[in-house]
Amino acid sequence: MHVSPQLTPPPAPSDEELRAVGPRIRMMMPQLTGLEARVVDLVLGSRDFTELTPLQQVATACDVSEAMVVKVAKKLGYGGYRDFRASLAAYNRLPIVELHQEISPGDDTPTMMQKVFRTSIQALEETLAILEPAAIDEAAELFHGARNRDFYGLGGSAQIARDAAHKFLRIGVRTSVQDDAHMMAMSASLLGPDDVVAAFSHSGETDAVIDAVKIARGAGAKIVVITNHARSTLGALGDITLCSTAQGSPLTGENSAARIAQLNILDVIFVAVAQRNMAAAEANLEKTIRSVASKRKARANDLTRSADRRRR
């Protein structure tokens, strides 16, 4: 008698893998057409989307064909609608998905505060889920060993670049922040194979940053991109592309929560760089703290206690 072999079911995805489902889909949204994005918006925003939701129901709700829904699923990397449905339904059951809620004009202040903070918490949790430790280590190696480190960004992204530059300077790692199209281009033209660029752009489509990065790549510099959209024009230019992920509201947009996530990405890289030579980092940190201690009231005792703790 022939006995069929027992098939081992595939392991269930971990919570971390499930947390990455929504972020990875949102990062691909810029690559979708208007009709395709309508399908994704509906299923991502529907809390009653489950493993039993029929294909026809989604197509009707989006006013598209069933073939269009299947096409969207495949464009997002799934084998078909069933795989897409199972993955997204599991993601929608996660408690973290409930953190984000749209801000309404009638929200009182406590409610509004909860919504703003929870959206940022969700951005941090989901950004952590998609960050690759190997990419963080590679970026840290580039920053640690580079001859020159150029940071490029405009508007809100320039503020993130300045915050990162401030942290690195505290441990003796010098960087140059450029937030003007001409200055970016000129600085990029002087780089070489021993240099690294950190390019900041929420959308990944900021022309001035893209143009400067192309010049820097042509000169042989390595490129680290920090963006909210991995498949953007800028994201495709990175030797390493690190992505935040954030949902927003019509009032705050994505940028507000994404900025918090991107600041944390840079904090992680900062610590990883410091760890590569902790003795030098601590010595430089003490020097830079002392250099500004006289500018602050009642800082002498705090400085002494801080130095003592680091020596222990």
pLDDT tens, residue by residue, 206-255 = 999 999 999 999 999 999 999 988 888 999 999 999 998 876 555 555 56
Contact 188, 143 (CB under 8 A): no
Residue 263 has a CB neighbour count (10 Å cut-off) of: 17
The strand order across the sheet containing 176-178 reads 176-178, 149-152, 196-201, 222-227, 240-243
Contact 219, 192 (CB under 8 A): yes
What are the chain's domains? 15-93 (1.10.10.10), 130-276 (3.40.50.10490), 279-312 (no CATH)
Most confident of 28-42, 96-110, 136-150: 136-150
Q: How far apart are CA 266 and CA 158, in angstroms?
A: 13
DSSP state of 169: H
Say whether pTM exceeds 0.85: no
Beta bridge partners of 194: none
Degrees (nearest 5) of the Cα angle 155, 170, 166?
A: 5
Phi then psi for residue 224, to 5 deg, are -115, 120
Upper half-sphere CA count for residue 25 (Cβ side, 13 Å): 26
